[in-house]
């Protein structure tokens, strides 16, 4: 299916999502209905092969659509990030009946969330969440936070410790006995990603749904970052669109302005031009990084290393231009531009929140270390305190 055919299918849904974005932000209303629209349109199965019921799209088409979805509401690509990564992981696996079954479930509308990170004190490389045997069953016990997309999903991928230092990934039904989810994310941006707490109390796990977590070189971290970058590019495009619309309709100006109407004021035009240019540059950078990952999918290990480095460079560059664009949006008008009704501040808040994932200071340092010393990127990083 071509990119335009896919766009024709999903753009009407994106438009409906965009129409309510400011109200959802103001009310902090999770987009359950909007996720349902995406599910019904087959958005979760964009990359699933057509013979299994999906659209069979390529990586470029996927990220092009994620950008458009991010322009409609930057929360939604991030909320669907665990699902995107799950599908990509399945596509990387050798052909098997299990792989085909999961992809058919996705094509039928199943969404996958995650429960990976923890806030309770633990050492780097360790987790408090445990997978253990109890009465002949495998059970999960622990608490996760930043569980993005979990409240929209039927299945969760859960990272846990099976033995000291041995990390595994388990898949569990999102409504399993002993599993409790809380919508308690309190960040000032990306408020509706459903990134709250998940608690596990003797949650039974099928041994067939447990795999060892591979921390070696691979494309998982690059793909995870690309989804966040697609959201950031969407923020820039939304800021450009809203700046344009605001200026085009505005009639009030200043006695010392350069033209009677803001739309004819060269200084205002310059600001709008800079925001559009930032959105263009951010999208071009994202597309280059996606192309690098696509080459790595088809190439050798050296291409995987290059892709990780390229995505890190894209992260640093895109964050810089999008944050500046989202801040400059407020130069196009007077006090009315900060009206709560417009919720234009959400663009900067959402961009700032997206850019604290995988902190920029460490990504730019990794790029420099690779350039100077040919150091390998860190592919399987974790958070925690020193031992």
Residue 67 C-alpha from the chain's centroid: 10
Share of the chain above pLDDT 70, in %: 99
pLDDT given for residue 50 in this prediction: 96
pTM above 0.85, yes or no: yes
Per residue in 347-384, pLDDT (tens digit) is 999 999 999 988 999 999 999 999 999 999 988 777 88
What is the average pLDDT value for the chain, to the nearest integer?
95
* Adjacent-strand bridge partners of 133: 138
User: Rounded distance, CA 349 to CA 186, Å?
Assistant: 13
Q: Are 58 and 87 in contact (CB under 8 A)?
A: no
Share of the chain above pLDDT 90, in %: 86
Average pLDDT on 129-152 reads 96
CA-CA-CA-CA torsion sign (164, 169, 175, 181): positive
User: Rounded distance, CA 256 to CA 365, Å?
Assistant: 45
User: Rounded distance, CA 373 to CA 367, Å?
Assistant: 10
DSSP character at residue 214: P
Three-class SS of residue 131? strand
User: Rounded distance, CA 35 to CA 48, Å?
Assistant: 18
* Adjacent-strand bridge partners of 159: 169
Give the position of tokens 């408090």.
Answer: 128
Structure tokens at 72: 């409609």
Per residue in 266-302, pLDDT (tens digit) is 999 999 999 999 999 999 999 999 999 999 998 888 8
Backbone angles phi, psi at 201, to 5 degrees: -130, 100
Instruction: Tell whether the model's pLDDT for residue 32 goes beyond 90.
Output: yes
User: Rounded distance, CA 131 to CA 36, Å?
Assistant: 32
- Domains of the chain from N-terminus onward: 3-110 (1.10.540.10), 115-212 (2.40.110.10), 220-373 (1.20.140.10)
Q: Are 171 and 186 in contact (CB under 8 A)?
A: no
pLDDT given for residue 75 in this prediction: 98
Instruction: Tell whether the model's pLDDT for residue 124 goes beyond 90.
Output: no
Per residue in 206-258, pLDDT (tens digit) is 999 999 988 778 999 999 999 999 999 999 999 999 999 999 998 888 888 88
């Amino acid at each position: 299916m071509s990119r335009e055919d896919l766009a024709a299918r999903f753009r009407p849904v994106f438009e409906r999502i965009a129409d309510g974005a400011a109200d959802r932000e103001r009310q902090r209303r999770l987009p359950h209905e909007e996720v349902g629209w995406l599910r019904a349109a087959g958005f979760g199965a964009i990359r699933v092969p057509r013979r299994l019921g999906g659209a069979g799209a390529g990586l470029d088409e996927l990220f092009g659509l994620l950008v458009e979805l991010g322009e409609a509401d930057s929360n939604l690509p991030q909320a669907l990030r665990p699902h995107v990564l799950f599908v990509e992981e399945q596509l990387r696996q050798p052909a098997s009946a299990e792989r085909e079954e999961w992809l058919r479930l996705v094509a039928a509308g199943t969404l996958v969330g995650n429960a990976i990170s923890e806030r309770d004190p633990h050492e780097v490389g360790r987790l408090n969440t445990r997978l253990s045997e109890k009465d002949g069953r495998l059970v999960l016990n622990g608490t996760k936070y930043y569980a993005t997309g979990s409240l929209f999903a039927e299945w969760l991928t859960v990272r846990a410790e099976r033995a000291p230092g041995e990390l595994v990934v388990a898949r569990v039904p999102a409504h399993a006995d002993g599993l409790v989810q809380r919508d308690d994310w309190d960040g000032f941006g990306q408020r509706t990603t459903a990134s709250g707490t998940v608690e596990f109390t003797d949650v039974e796990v099928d041994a067939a749904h447990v795999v060892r977590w591979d921390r070696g070189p691979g494309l998982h971290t690059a793909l995870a970052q690309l989804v966040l970058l697609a959201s950031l590019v969407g923020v820039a495009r939304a800021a450009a669109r809203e700046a344009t619309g605001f200026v085009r309709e505005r009639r009030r100006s200043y006695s010392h302005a350069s033209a009677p109407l803001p739309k004819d004021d060269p200084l205002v035009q310059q600001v709008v031009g800079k925001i559009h240019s930032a959105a263009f540059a951010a999208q071009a950078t994202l597309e280059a990084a996606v192309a690098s990952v696509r080459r790595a999918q088809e190439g050798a290990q050296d291409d995987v290393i290059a892709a990780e480095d390229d995505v890190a460079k894209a992260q640093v560059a895109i964050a810089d231009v999008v944050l500046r664009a989202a801040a400059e949006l407020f130069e196009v008008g007077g006090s009315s531009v900060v009206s709560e009704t417009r919720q234009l501040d959400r663009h900067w808040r959402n961009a700032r929140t997206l850019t604290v994932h995988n902190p920029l200071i460490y990504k730019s340092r990794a790029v420099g270390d690779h350039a100077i010393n040919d150091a390998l990127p860190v592919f399987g990083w974790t958070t925690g305190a020193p031992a």
